[in-house]
Amino acid sequence: MARGTAPFSNAALREVRRRRPVEGRLLSAAELARRVGTSKSRILAYEKGTSVPEPRRIEQLAGVFGIPPRRLCPAVPDAADGIRRLRVAAGLTSAEAADRLGISRNTYRDLELHAKLPARRYATLPQRLAEVFAVSPRTVHRSLDSHPQAAERRQEITRLLAALFRRAHETGRPAGVGTDEPELRALARLLRRSAGTTCRLVDHELGRLRGDLRERAGEEATAAYGQDEDDIRRARSRIELLTERIDRAAVQAAASWTRFLAEAMTSRQWRLLVRLLNAEAVPEGRLLDFGEPEAWQGLAAQGLITRERTPDGGTGGFVLTSEGLARALHEARLYACLYPRVPVPSRTARVVARRKFLDARRRWTPAAPVQNRPATGPVS
């Protein structure tokens, strides 16, 4: 597809015009042209594939037939075309999308062609994209994640992490990383974060990895010297699970970090979420004491908070949703790396929240066998 053109299926337009009645009859090429303000020859060129309509024209064509614009896009999309397809489905040119997002056209071009989020707007732009394109944030993240260049960056992040994680296997001394190390600085550039933030993230993962290695060593001792067959069997099963987790540490961290950083709340939003977790609910009259309305709106748009219902059926302050509760529990330590100056959830709040989280999961999810339990759980 030529650079700057919209993803468009000439066969889809031809099929729709010949099979989908409008006001009780099929449209000729001339009639369709009249309705969208162009010529018959241009419509025929669209259908032959010798001309590609602009996003606005695709939206007009779809509107005539009462179908979403995506129906006129290729059935099997190019992975590199995800964001552009969302823009076209919204009927926007790249310039219009950039203006609505409040970013430069060059920045938007990098986003669409290379799946690169600007560092200054890294935490908030995916949500704005979802709003402008009228899709879910998950759809935006899926389009960004599937881009070939995003996959290449994840591979390079994995390679750098594997090199840094080797020191976790060195015995007799603590494992740590410095901000001046070449691999760390290269990793920071790929993550588009400061060397200090990246260093904290790596040290966090090194600590988790050392914990797994220490646990595996203990299980190996049990498997080798245990006097009970059941204990030996359990130890061997645990060794197998831990070994897989250790071997995949770099791959898993690369995938989880890129997703976490792309979806991360702003520091203000995270501060508000911690206050909600610590206080259970924030009364209506104190909402503006804790942050700007945009921060609350962003949390609500992500499904992390909701309005508390009062006994008379009205609405009160904000409370955490189950998704917000899960994010606060699972990602607290990552946010501590990202925003070290923001207070962490209190221990009492974490204990209460974890109990609620586990109770809800037990009510809705059947218990899994020991060997199939998730490798990670809520952080303590």
* Residue-by-residue DSSP string for 175-187: ----TT-HHHHHH
pLDDT reported for residue 377: 39
CB contact at 8 A, 74 and 58: no
Q: Could you give the angle at which helices 267-279 and 322-330 cross, rounded to 10 degrees?
A: 110
**Rounded CA separation 297/303 (Å):** 10
pLDDT reported for residue 371: 42
pLDDT averages per 10-residue partition of the chain, 380 residues: 61 89 91 93 90 87 89 66 84 89 90 81 77 86 86 92 94 89 94 94 96 96 95 96 96 90 86 80 52 76 79 71 85 93 80 66 48 39
Read off the pTM.
Answer: 0.67
**Could you tell me the two tokens for 190?**
């790929």
**Rounded CA separation 180/217 (Å):** 32
**CA-to-CA separations, 181 to 153, 164, 276, 284, in angstroms, rounded:** 19, 10, 38, 48
CB contact at 8 A, 305 and 287: no
CB contact at 8 A, 160 and 186: yes
Question: How would you list the strands of the sheet with 305-309, edge to edge?
Answer: 281-282, 315-320, 305-309
pLDDT reported for residue 90: 85
- Whether the CA torsion 110, 123, 78, 91 is positive or negative: it is negative
pLDDT reported for residue 329: 83
Burial environment of residue 330 by CB neighbours within 10 A (0 to 12, 13 to 18, 19 or more):
middle
pLDDT reported for residue 243: 96
**Rounded CA separation 303/128 (Å):** 15
**Rounded CA separation 257/156 (Å):** 13
pLDDT reported for residue 219: 97
CA dihedral 78, 121, 331, 293 (to 10 degrees): -120
